[in-house]
């Protein structure tokens, strides 16, 4: 009999539920929260209220789409952290109550581990990554290089000292008047731009760590100066600006991953997180790292989703790694 796990994800501004049967995803429902757009970023209080409103219909849809009756579920997996505490609490309370009412095990999941392990979903790629590998978690909240020894033994070997790579995209996009989150819009506009038109300098950060806040400030100053010279600068050069700023961000990431490959002597690289949807990252890495095995999630598994939570739930279920009801949610939860 296959193992059926319901996954619940509410760490930030997406309410998501998914059903997995062994490691095959049967449904993955994601309700986005439009309410944050006009604020240019996620408003925590509004996020937890929206999760409360969305969670029941989202879970119901996930079960219907998967065609799995709740009585056929073997476990409930949920995001314990990291994330916004109020949002995490909505998911964890809901997961605990279903687990209690159906009398099936509860399984807590680390959101950052899940972003990488999503690459093990049956319907993601034909081949699965082999351990050990270098995990590259790039999202709106995190920028981490992780040495992954097995499913649950992961060591952070590099991370950002300030802004995340996703924030670099989002904040530069904001300067250009693009709505939050701006990453995918920059990606799209950059396709028709010249990535060599404008030059931005790379920050100097030692080892495998990153820093993006200086780049963001340079970018803002550069645009402000150009707009003073010509009011129509952004309008006229938008595609070239997007291509140029995206290119420097991709180069910063590529340089650090090449260093990580040298340092760890590991040639399998596994990506996760919203920014791993970026088409230029995928293209450049494939071109520059031909001697490495690269694994990218399908686009629907890059941004926050419950499929990745359900997958980790399935992996933990097989190890009988269950969670007590008094386990608390963690806004900061180390991998
Ligand atoms: O993983 P995610 O959904 O949420 C967090 O856990 O943070 O990542 C969201 C981030 C945002 O910063 C968004 O702008 C970025 O992922 N993003 C992209 C692309 N699609 C989403 N950044 C660059 N290129 C994209 N195509
Ligand atoms: Zn995430």
For the CA of 141, the nearest atom of ligand 1: 7
Distances (CA, A) of 206 to 142, 158, 210, 259: 18, 10, 8, 11
pLDDT, mean of residues 259-276: 98
* pTM: predicted TM-score of the whole model, two decimal places: 0.94
Task: Return the percentage of the chain with pLDDT > 90, whole number.
Answer: 89
Token pair, residue 219, equals: 């970018």
Q: Measured in angstroms, how far is the CA atom of residue 246 from the centroid of ligand 2?
A: 20
- d(CA 6, CA 28) in angstroms, rounded, equals 10
When mean pLDDT is compared across 1-15, 41-55, 220-234, the lowest value belongs to: 41-55
Q: Using DSSP, state whether 17 is helix, strand or coil.
A: strand
Tell me what pLDDT residue 126 has. 81
| Ligand 1 pocket check for 12: Cβ under 6 Å | yes
When pLDDT is averaged across residues 89-100 and rounded to a whole number, the result is 98
- 40, pLDDT greater than 90: no
Average pLDDT in the 59-64 region? 98
Mean pLDDT to the nearest integer, 312-333: 97
Q: Is the pLDDT of residue 195 over 80?
A: yes
Flag whether pLDDT at 12 surpasses 80.
yes
Given the structure tokens 């999503």, which residue do they identify? Answer: 118
Checking if the pLDDT of 140 tops 70, the result is yes
Which ligand 1 atom lies nearest to the CA of residue 182?
14
Asked if residue 82 has its Cβ within 6 Å of ligand 1, the reply is no
Q: Which ligand is nearest to the CA of 274?
A: 1
- Partners of 147 in the β-ladder: 134, 155
Are 183 and 166 a contacting pair, CB within 8 Å?
A: yes
pLDDT range class, residue 36, cuts 50, 70, 90: low
Contacts of 105 (CB under 8 A, 6+ apart): 74, 75, 76, 99, 317, 322, 323
What does the pLDDT look like over 69-78, one tens digit per residue? 999 999 999 9
Q: Are 160 and 211 in contact (CB under 8 A)?
A: yes
d(CA 314, CA 317): 5
Note the pLDDT of residue 30: 94
Ligand 1 center to 68 CA (angstroms)? 31
Task: Report the pLDDT averaged over residues 257-280.
Answer: 98
The closest residue, in CA terms, to atom 20 on ligand 1 is: 184
Measured between alpha carbons, how far is 35 from 233 in angstroms, rounded to an integer?
30
Does residue 197 register a pLDDT over 70? yes
Taking the centre of ligand 2 as the mean of its atom positions, its distance from the CA of residue 262, in whole angstroms, is 27
Closest CA to 304 of 335, 277, 333: 277
Which ligand 1 atom is the nearest neighbour of the CA of 83? 6
Q: What is the DSSP string of 153-189?
A: EEEEEEEBSSS-HHHHHHHHHHHTTPPSS-HHHHHHH
Residue 46 — very low, low, confident or very high, per pLDDT cuts 50/70/90? confident
How many residues are there in the chain? Answer: 335
Per-residue model confidence (pLDDT) at position 44: 80
Q: Over 80: is that where the pLDDT of 335 sits?
A: yes
Higher local confidence (pLDDT), 76 or 51: 76
Could you tell which of 31, 137, 183 is best to mutate to test the pocket of ligand 1, judged by most ligand atoms within 8 Å of the CB? 183
Residue 278 Cβ < 6 Å to ligand 1 = yes
Query: Sorting pLDDT into bands at 50, 70 and 90, what band is 152?
Result: very high
Mean pLDDT across the chain, nearest whole number? 95
Tell me the average pLDDT across 239-259. 98
When pLDDT is cut at 50, 70 and 90, the band that residue 42 belongs to is confident
Q: Are 73 and 310 in contact (CB under 8 A)?
A: no
Query: What average pLDDT does range 203-207 have in this prediction?
Result: 94
pLDDT of 153 higher than 90? yes
């Amino acid at each position: 009999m296959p193992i059926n796990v319901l996954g619940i994800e509410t760490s930030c501004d997406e309410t998501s539920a998914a059903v997995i049967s062994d490691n095959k995803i049967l449904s993955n429902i994601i309700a986005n929260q439009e309410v944050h757009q006009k604020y240019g970023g996620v408003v925590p209080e509004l996020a937890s209220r929206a999760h409360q409103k969305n969670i029941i219909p989202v879970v119901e849809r996930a079960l219907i789409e998967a065609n799995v009756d709740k009585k056929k579920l073997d476990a409930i997996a949920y995001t314990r952290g990291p994330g916004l505490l109020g949002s995490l609490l909505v998911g964890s309370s809901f997961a605990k109550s279903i687990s209690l009412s159906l009398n099936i095990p509860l399984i807590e999941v680390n959101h950052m581990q899940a972003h990488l392990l999503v690459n093990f979903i049956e319907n993601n790629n034909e081949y699965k990554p082999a351990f050990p590998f270098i995990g590259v978690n790039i999202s709106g909240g995190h920028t981490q290089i992780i040495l992954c020894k097995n499913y649950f033994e992961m060591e952070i070997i590099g991370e950002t000292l300030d802004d995340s790579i996703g924030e670099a995209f989002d904040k530069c996009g904001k300067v250009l008047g693009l709505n939050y989150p701006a990453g995918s819009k920059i990606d799209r506009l950059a396709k028709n731009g010249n990535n060599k038109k404008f030059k931005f300098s790379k920050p100097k950060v030692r080892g495998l760590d990153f820093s993006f806040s200086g780049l963001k400030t340079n970018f803002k100053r550069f645009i402000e100066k150009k707009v003073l010279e010509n009011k129509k600068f952004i309008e006229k050069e938008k595609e070239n600006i997007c291509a140029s700023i995206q290119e420097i961000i991709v180069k910063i990431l590529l340089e650090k991953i090449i260093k990580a490959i040298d340092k760890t002597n590991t040639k399998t690289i596994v990506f996760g997180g919203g920014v791993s949807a970026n088409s230029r990252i995928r293209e450049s890495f494939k071109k520059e790292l031909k001697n490495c095995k690269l694994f990218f999630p399908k686009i629907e598994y890059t941004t926050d989703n419950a499929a990745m939570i359900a997958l980790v739930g399935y992996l933990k279920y097989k190890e009988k790694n269950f969670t007590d009801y008094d386990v608390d949610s963690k806004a900061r939860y180390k991998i």
